[in-house]
Amino acid sequence: MYKIGVIGDKQSVSGFLAVGLSVFPCDDLEKAKETFQTLVEKNEYAILYVTENYCKEMSQEFEKYKDSQLPAIIPIPGMDGSYGVGVGRSKKAVERAVGVDIIYGNQE
């Protein structure tokens, strides 16, 4: 059975332990990148939530897996709030699937 993991700063991800998710606190971007790569290589995780503060800097790492079924990489807001990364990724996904942005149109 596949697992769900959460990568981010300790304050942002520790609450996910309460609902049974695998939590990977990272103190810096390099640790987040290493953790992400390790989890992808294990092929045990269907979903990887990554806090937006790291997600915005890890786009090259995520690009390799954009056409893969697993893992689904989902940005989540961290303790600092949202940077709009999740909305941007959703908009791009809709455009790729449908051909046009039917949700946001020309709005940002």
CA dist 77 and 71 (Å) reads 19
- Of 33, 27, 3, 2, nearest to 13 (Cα)? 27
Structural domain includes residue 103: no
With respect to residue 48, please indicate whether it lies within any of the assigned structural domains. Answer: yes
DSSP β-ladder status, 72-76 and 3-8? unpaired
If one counts the domains in the chain, the total is 1
- pLDDT by residue, tens only, the chain of 108 residues: 999 999 999 999 999 999 999 999 999 999 999 999 999 999 999 999 999 889 888 988 888 887 788 998 988 887 776 655 655 555 555 566 666 666 656 555
Does the residue 36 lie in any domain?
yes
CATH of the domain at 51: 3.40.50.10580
Using left for φ > 0, alpha for ψ between -120 and 50, and beta otherwise, residue 38 falls in alpha
pLDDT of residue 18: 94
Q: Residue 52 belongs to what domain range?
A: 3-80
pTM as predicted = 0.77
Cis upstream peptide for 71 (omega within 30°)? yes
At residue 97, what is the residue type? A
Q: Quote the pLDDT of residue 32.
A: 97
In a domain, 61, yes or no: yes
